[in-house]
Copies of this chain bind each other. A is one copy, B any other.
Amino acid sequence: MTAAVSGWVGDGYDPQCPTRVLLDRVGDKWTVLVIGALADGPLRFTELRDRVGGVSGKVLTATLRALARDGLVIRTAYPQIPPRVEYSLTDLGRSLQTPLDVLRTWAEQHIAQVVAHREEFDEEHDQ
């Protein structure tokens, strides 16, 4: 978390803290999936839902709306019948992929240790 004065921990759970804002978005269940799905180019609503897999329409709508609100994604509606809506990453959205890649790399290299530790911990701590 960004420090308020010194060190790392500023004022606890401050909704204004940049890191907090980012974490609240990135921590969202579907945000990272959606950004990843859009990495290769624009997608329509249904394509996006199919690619992400497991997400309901309602929740995908909410996720996309939040991303659009944050300026990470652009929604483009073509006035046609039937409707055609495309979603694409903004430059800001694309710039987020770098930190996400760093996270992903860490995960790929270290999650095995985490999982192993979990099993060990669980064996010790119950029956």
Using a CB–CB cutoff of 8 Å, the interface residues on chain A facing chain B are 1-2, 7-9, 11-13, 18-19, 21-23, 26-30, 32-33, 36-37, 39-40, 51-55, 68-72, 92, 95-96, 98-99, 102-108, 110-111, 113-118, 121-122
A113–B32 CA distance with the chains assembled, in angstroms: 19
Excluding A9-B37, A26-B103, A99-B105, 17 further A-B contacts by CB distance (< 8 Å) are A1-B104, A2-B108, A7-B36, A7-B40, A12-B33, A12-B52, A12-B55, A13-B55, A21-B111, A22-B106, A23-B32, A71-B113, A72-B114, A92-B113, A99-B103, A102-B102, A102-B103
Contacts A12-B54, A51-B9 given: A21-B114 contact, CB under 8 Å? yes
Name the distance in Å between A103's Cβ and chain B's nearest Cβ: 5
Q: What are 14 inter-chain pairs, A to B, with CB distance below 8 A? A: A1-B33, A8-B36, A9-B37, A13-B33, A13-B55, A19-B32, A21-B111, A21-B114, A22-B107, A23-B27, A70-B117, A71-B117, A98-B106, A99-B99
A117–B26 CA distance with the chains assembled, in angstroms: 17
A40–B30 CA distance with the chains assembled, in angstroms: 33
Query: When the two chains form their complex, are residues B114 and A70 in contact, meaning their CB atoms are under 8 A apart?
Result: yes
